[in-house]
Amino acid sequence: MSKKKHETPMLDELKKGPWPSFVKEIEKAAVKSETANDTLGQVEKSYRTRRGYWKHGGIVGVLGYGGGVIGRYTSLPEEFPGVKFFHTVRINQPSGWFYTSKALREICDIWDKYGSGLTNIHGSTGDLVLLGTNTESLEAIFAEYSSRGWDLGGSGSAMRTPSCCLGPARCEWSNINTLEINYQLTQEFQDELHRPAFPYKFKIKTSGCAVDCVASIARADLSIIGTWRGKIQIDQSEVQNYAKKGMNINAEIVNMCPTQCITYDGKEMKIDDAECSRCMHCIAKMTKALRPSGERGATLLMGSKAPIVVGSLLSWVIVPFIKLEPPYKELKELIRKMIEWWDENSKPRERIGEVIEIKGMRSFLEYIGVPPSPAQVKWPRKDPFIFFKDEDFEKVFKKGKY
């Protein structure tokens, strides 16, 4: 048993109130872990001095793998010896983050044996993250987890562990089988996930609809978002029920529609489906009255990233509609082409969205073989120059326009 080593008046403030506290959880782990105990001390010192003491990177990992372990160390090893090494291990999560309690106990038992006992379920990457172990334990940790069917996730310049929303397992709005797509892509890109050979990271996230519960549009180089091609079916009696229960349909639905394709005269709701961008706002608000119909598939968007090399980006449309059915051959081939183009055209540490911005959509679309479409226009062009190629003129002359 480990006694509390450090006075933590500032951290103690974060234990107050009715909400969960990470300090309470670290304190629980600190009862039997020196690493967790010194984590408290170091975090308290960081709060007091207003600076961080973690260093990260370097050469740690398991033999043959280029990712899944992120080296982390304290810059104050004499003061906090328990966190001299504080490596992070990423475990590839199951699609949709479904676990049995038996599986979670197994994960935690192994982690208590080799690590600090602290976890991050889940990290923003999607992986199940284990926080704080030393270099000598890494091979043993990997052997224990892999012998029970778990694998490491991605890190560094690699395909990152794909993640998805819980999709059709629990959500009636899912237009695609996000769980199966995620599993298939994870299997397809195993080599790229464990052997970092890309210019930089590449993330795939799949959402069943435009509500986008995994925030793929803001966090993934490739965002796969479920959509539909038919009309939105309207149950007018349920629309009336919403109005009777106090919903201000014009304020909350009609005026919030981004394409202004909905009208409501107090009796009947109408939707101009040709103008609808399938954003899901109305459907998510009036779940009993509105429902998508017709063919289901996905929109592929690309480019989102956090601000590191250049500013942050949101994904934009590349493929307005693609049917997604097993074995997802078309999707897998398209992703490989996208990665090939990126690999050929980028400098180190450039994300695919940045390279598309630099080189232009034309070069990218030509390479991956996707025709241009108005849905791909992110914003109106700002310069008056259009660069034509010789074949563009030939095409026009062949059509006999001039």
Partner 1 sequence: MEKEELKNKIFEYMQKYKGKKKLKEKDVWKGVGEETGVPGDEVKKALREMIDVGKLMYSYGGGASSVEIPSEEYLKEKGLL
User: Helix (H, G, I), strand (E, B), or coil: what is residue 85?
Assistant: strand
Interface residues toward partner 1, by CB under 8 A:
57-59, 61, 63-67, 70-71, 135-136, 139, 155-158, 195-197, 199-201, 308, 343, 348-349
Show the tokens assigned to 86: 């504080």
To partner 1, the closest distance from the beta carbon of 196 in angstroms equals: 4
200 versus 228: smaller Cβ distance to partner 1: 200
To partner 1, the closest distance from the beta carbon of 364 in angstroms equals: 19
Contact 333, 369 (CB under 8 A): no
270 versus 349: smaller Cβ distance to partner 1: 349
Give CA 262 to chain center in angstroms. Answer: 31
140 versus 243: smaller Cβ distance to partner 1: 140
189 versus 328: smaller Cβ distance to partner 1: 189
163-164 sheet: strands from edge to edge: 163-164, 204-207, 222-228, 296-302, 316-322
156 versus 320: smaller Cβ distance to partner 1: 156
310 versus 396: smaller Cβ distance to partner 1: 310
To partner 1, the closest distance from the beta carbon of 385 in angstroms equals: 34
Selection from 249, 267, 246, 266 nearest residue 257 by Cα = 249
**Facing residues of 73 across strands?**
55, 85
32 versus 347: smaller Cβ distance to partner 1: 347
Phi-psi region of 65 (alpha: psi -120 to 50; beta: other; left: phi over 0): beta
Alpha carbon distance 395, 28 (integer Å): 71
To partner 1, the closest distance from the beta carbon of 394 in angstroms equals: 35
To partner 1, the closest distance from the beta carbon of 63 in angstroms equals: 6
**Facing residues of 163 across strands?**
205
Contact 352, 302 (CB under 8 A): yes
Selection from 241, 353, 341, 372 nearest residue 307 by Cα = 353
CA atoms within 13 A on the CB side of 17: 10
198 versus 316: smaller Cβ distance to partner 1: 198
To partner 1, the closest distance from the beta carbon of 138 in angstroms equals: 8
To partner 1, the closest distance from the beta carbon of 190 in angstroms equals: 13
Environment class of 237 (CB within 10 Å of its CB; exposed 0-12, middle 13-18, buried 19+): exposed
Query: Inter-axis angle of helices 352-359 and 329-345, to 10 degrees?
Result: 70
To partner 1, the closest distance from the beta carbon of 57 in angstroms equals: 5
Contact 62, 138 (CB under 8 A): yes
To partner 1, the closest distance from the beta carbon of 129 in angstroms equals: 16
Fill in the DSSP letter of residue 254.
I
Contact 38, 82 (CB under 8 A): yes
130 versus 319: smaller Cβ distance to partner 1: 130
